[in-house]
Amino acid sequence: MAGAGDAAKEYVAGSVAGIAQVVVGHPFDTVKVKLQAHNTTAYGKVYKNAFHCTSRILLEEGIRGLYKGASSSFIGIAVESSLFFGTYSQAKQLLQGNYEDGRPHLQVIIPSAASSGALISCILTPTELTKCRMQVQGKDVMHGARYSSPLDCAVKTLESDGLRGLFRGGLATLFREAIGNAVFFCTYEYSRYWMHKYLDSPRFSSSSHFILAKDIGIGVMSGGISGMAFWTATLPLDVAKTIIQTNPDPHLSRNPFRILSMVYKRAGMGGCYAGLGPTLTRAFPANAAAIVAWEYSAKILGIKRV
């Protein structure tokens, strides 16, 4: 198990990864949330596709419209990623003790990633609730309060629904994070291992320029692929979460599986995967940026990656 100094460095590296992820991925996330909130209602589709949604936002709200709710995301994701990557690294080191061969092991990765994901769902639920409610606002909004900022949204939610209101959608977030992050880190660890095994062979150059390019390339590919795997596995749960958090009906069920059943009856399988295009488009660059930032922050801080 790493000492307190290395543990602290892991949390710092995780927060850097989260900030990089928000900078690259938030505009795609705004489009995804708009599609999930407005294309799954009984009134029919508001947007034809992701491109139509993006163009509407830019025409009506400008570039700032794509970054609605970003301030809560920066704060939430920085803290969340710090805990997420830090807890995963610490749990992995604890469980890795019985495996000294340097290979990834599902027995280590899955519990480390799932427990880390479950932990951060407690932080993600209120930050994503304010983010999503800010994102769905616009000229196309049909009902609900108008919020001037994420803080205003949080205060109004507390006033109307109490503390419980801020954690609306918590069960869907818990399932999404526990399942999705197990998928994410399994994909990341195995793809990273096999790419390193191939590119570290004697047939390739050992120059410092090649090593730098190789490490960045592996980080980009393993991070991007892992992000796409995460969202492919969990997008229906994310659709349910968005509906639970943005629907103004106080009596709406908070059971994500009941919500998905309702969406399926209204919009079919396409409704359960609303926002798939911008989500996967965002997943590759955002998670590639997060992984490269995480790995290089760790390297600068002197943390050795297994």
- What would the mean pLDDT of 91-115 be, rounded to a whole number? 86
Residue 284 identity (one-letter amino acid)? F
pLDDT digits over 5-59, tens only? 677 888 888 888 888 888 888 888 888 877 777 776 666 677 778 788 888 888 8
262/184 Cα distance (integer angstroms):
28
Angle formed by the axes of helices 256-272 and 208-246, nearest 10°: 120
Buried b (16+ CB within 10 A) or exposed e, 284-296: bbbbbbbbbbbbb
pLDDT in tens, 177-234: 999 999 999 999 999 999 998 888 777 767 777 778 888 999 999 999 999 999 999 9
Lowest mean pLDDT of 19-23, 123-127, 156-160, 302-306, name the range. 302-306
The mean pLDDT value for 57-75 works out to 77
Render pLDDT for 181-192 as a digit per residue (tens, 0 to 9): 999 999 999 999
pLDDT of 140 strictly over 70: no
How many angstroms separate the Cα of 149 from the Cα of each of 80, 119, 287? 20, 26, 26
For residue 27 the two structure tokens come to 């505009």
